[in-house]
Every structure is written in structure tokens, then in C-alpha cells.
Amino acid sequence: MTKSDVVRARVSPAVKVAAMENASALGTDLSTIIRLLVNQIAVTGEVPAELLKPNAKTLKAIRDLEAGVGVNRASDIDELKADLGW
């Protein structure tokens, strides 16, 4: 007899509904997709690379940071606190 364990994760209700709908459109369910992901991590020892790939918004933020766009600098902790309104 195969034993199984339960894996729980918290997500917003909207994310859960969207994921369930997308899984259904793919002909499967959310439990199967989660099981596939967990098994993949267990077998390979890593998260599938595609899941770690930054999206367009993140890539823009990285480029902006590297270019110094919107970057605020503080010379000491007191200046940083003042800039943050602390």
C-alpha cells in the first residue's frame, strides 16, 4: 500500500482560483501539478529553472537598479532613517 503525506501552502483566494482554472484548462488539477513539482524537486534536487526565470517587470527593475534609476543613497543610518521617514 502506498503511503502519502499532505503538503499545504497558503495562497490568496484569487491565485488559487486562477491556478485551478488554468490546471483544468490543461486537463489536470492543482493537486497533480503540485505533486509533479514536488516530485521534480525531489528527483533533481532543484527547482525547475523556468520557475526561477525573472519576469519582464523584475528584469526592468534589475536594469533600472544597475543604471541607477530611482536609486536613493544614504551616507549613514541616520540619513537613511530620515529618507524613510522614521
Can you tell me the distance from the alpha carbon of 25 to that of 39, in angstroms, rounded to the nearest whole number? 22
Same domain, 44 and 29: yes
Please, which pLDDT band fits residue 13 given cuts at 50, 70 and 90?
Answer: very high
Number of domains in the chain: 2
- Which of 48, 54, 14 is closest to 33 using CA atoms? 48
Confidence of residue 9 (pLDDT cuts 50, 70, 90): very high
Check whether residue 30 and residue 67 sit in a common domain. no
pLDDT digits (tens, 9 = 90+) for 19-71: 999 999 999 999 999 999 999 999 999 999 888 899 999 999 999 999 999 88
What is the structure's pLDDT at 3? 83
Shared domain for 34 and 12, answered yes or no, is yes
Quick check: 1 pLDDT over 70?
no
Residues 59 and 31 both lie in one domain:
no
Q: Do 47 and 59 share a domain, yes or no?
A: no
All cell numbers assigned to 26: 490543461
Say whether both 20 and 59 belong to one domain: no
The whole domain housing 69 covers 53-85
Asked if pLDDT for residue 4 goes beyond 70, the answer is yes
